[in-house]
Amino acid sequence: MDGLNALKKKYLDQIMAASDEAALEDLRLAAIGKKGEVSLKMRELGKMTPEERKRAGPVLNALKNEITSALAARKASLADAALEERLKAEWLDVTLAGRPRSRGSVHPVSQVTEEIVAIFADMGFSVAEGPQIESDWYNFDALNIPPEHPTRTEMDTFYMHRDAGDERVPNVLRTHTSPVQIRHMLAHGAPTRIIAPGRVYRADYDQTHTPMFHQVEGLALDRDISMANLKWTLEEFCRAFFEVENVELRFRASHFPFTEPSAEVDLRCSWDKGQLKVGEGDDWMEILGSGMVHPKVLRAGGIDPEQVQGFAFGIGIDRLAMLKYGIPDLRAFFDCDLRWLRHYGFRALDVPTLRGGLSA
């Protein structure tokens, strides 16, 4: 019996002193594991006389139970101590002010659209909108593009589905923002000054073309508006947008069914080691189409061309974004590659204004 008392004291002391779970497991194996000291003693019970067994059995069982609960108790207190340590180390001051960690970013197209809106808003233009699924009349006829006109095929139009037997001309995904001119004239008349940014669609795909892209339409109507007003407006816009003083534009005679006369506008620039500089050099970059609104278009918009004239223009927003921010491939704009968005994206809380800085 003395031997058992010594054994009990030895194990209980060691259990109390164990500093981690691994040490506890070693002790468990040494005492009550298959070949543990206590287990071996229990195995000897078989060789004892019935009287001896009657005495030794309960004592050994009690010893085994005691060791088992001492192990469990020590394990629990080690876990408590560990938790206590962590709580001390990993505290969090919930009264601290939040530190904003912005994850999303503003897409260059959204940024440039905001910049364009800010510049034209400063010149007194408001923003108008129209649907992306447009009727054939708004997208073509009202803009002086009759059914047989070659522009219809040049624009690589996406036609919407019509059920078999439905004889109506199918709707289209608008091929330009110009139908917003008509919608706006019909709803608001003249005088007016608007821009209409938005998505447009054409079946075309290469480094500078994607089937969906963005335009901003401009329309100014009043009693005596001329090409001179158009030229000033566009020069003023380019100066503000490219954030350089000496912008030079070249107006090249062109043709659009909805303007007369029509001009395409090029921007003087230089390409130096893949870097674009606006306002210097010997290169010209086409950036927009424009002209004086055609009398037939005014009439389609319910306006008397004898009383009112105006200018209109259509700028490719994605083109402007590529130029200003040096982005070489248009297709990457719409690939949704997070690395691209992080690289070319803008801080979400910086709103472009003329005073605060457009691209700051």
Positions touching ligand PHE (CB under 6 A) are 176, 178, 256, 259, 289-291, 312-314
Contact call for residues 222 and 191 (beta carbons, < 8 A): yes
Q: At closest approach, how far in Å is the CB of 90 from ligand PHE?
A: 60
Q: At closest approach, how far in Å is the CB of 140 from ligand PHE?
A: 11
Task: Give CA separation, 137 vs 143, 173, 340, in Å.
Answer: 8, 12, 39
Closer CB to ligand PHE, 130 or 291, in the complex = 291
Q: At closest approach, how far in Å is the CB of 251 from ligand PHE?
A: 12
Beta bridge partners of 192: 221
Closer CB to ligand PHE, 291 or 352, in the complex = 291
Closer CB to ligand PHE, 111 or 139, in the complex = 139
Give the CA dihedral 117, 123, 128, 129, nearest 10 degrees.
Answer: -30
Closer CB to ligand PHE, 12 or 182, in the complex = 182
Residue 209: alpha-carbon gap to chain centroid: 21
Q: At closest approach, how far in Å is the CB of 178 from ligand PHE?
A: 4
Antiparallel, parallel or unpaired: β 126-127 and 192-201: parallel
Q: Is the peptide bond before 191 cis (omega within 30 degrees of 0)?
A: yes
- 10 Å Cβ neighbour count for 212? 14
Nearest residue (beta carbon) to ligand PHE: 314
Closer CB to ligand PHE, 214 or 268, in the complex = 214
What is the Rg, in whole angstroms, of the alpha carbon atoms belonging to the chain? Answer: 40
Q: At closest approach, how far in Å is the CB of 181 from ligand PHE?
A: 7
Closer CB to ligand PHE, 232 or 271, in the complex = 232
Q: At closest approach, how far in Å is the CB of 153 from ligand PHE?
A: 14
DSSP secondary structure letter of residue 132: S
Q: At closest approach, how far in Å is the CB of 313 from ligand PHE?
A: 5
Closer CB to ligand PHE, 32 or 312, in the complex = 312
The answer for residues whose C-beta is within 8 angstroms of residue 180's C-beta and 6 or more apart is 128, 129, 130, 194, 196, 198, 217, 219
The answer for residues whose C-beta is within 8 angstroms of residue 350's C-beta and 6 or more apart is 356, 360
